[in-house]
Amino acid sequence: MGISFVPLDHTISLVLLALVAATGMSRAQALPPGPMRDVVDQACTRCHLATEFTAKHKTADQWAQTVNQMIDKGAVIGDNEFDRLVDYLTQNFGPEK
């Protein structure tokens, strides 16, 4: 009876897969449910951890300004999504929250 070892490259692959899965779950859990959750996840968490913006408490005007700045930096947000995105951010991360 001998000891068997998993090849190192296989172990690294499994660890990376677990990290990617955990990151995706924690990212999704950080955002409240709502019709724009997926848009926020795709547009914002490509460059930011969700906690970087969920900790902010901005007015609708401040969120609109922030979203415009992010669009200028390359965030992909559809023309018909802008107002709904700002509403989602304000509702969930506005000054009263």
Buried b (16+ CB within 10 A) or exposed e, 4-31: eeeeeeeeeeeeeeeeeeeeeeeeeeeb
Tell me whether residue 20 is in a domain: yes
Give 3-state DSSP helix, strand, coil % of the chain, rounded to 5. Answer: 65, 0, 35
Q: Give me the tens of pLDDT residue by residue for the chain, a chain 97 residues long.
A: 566 555 656 555 444 444 444 444 444 557 999 999 999 999 999 899 999 999 999 999 999 999 999 999 999 999 899 999 999 999 999 997 5
Two tokens at 91?
A: 């509702």
The domain tally of the chain equals 1
Query: For residue 3, is it within any domain?
Result: no
Residue 84 lies in a domain: yes
57 within a domain of the structure (yes/no): yes
Q: Is residue 1 part of a domain?
A: no
Q: Give the structural domain span for 86.
A: 8-93
In a domain, 36, yes or no: yes
| Cα(15)–Cα(11) distance, integer angstroms | 6
Single pTM value for the model: 0.69
Tell me how far apart the alpha carbons of residues 25 and 91 are, in angstroms, rounded to a whole number. 22
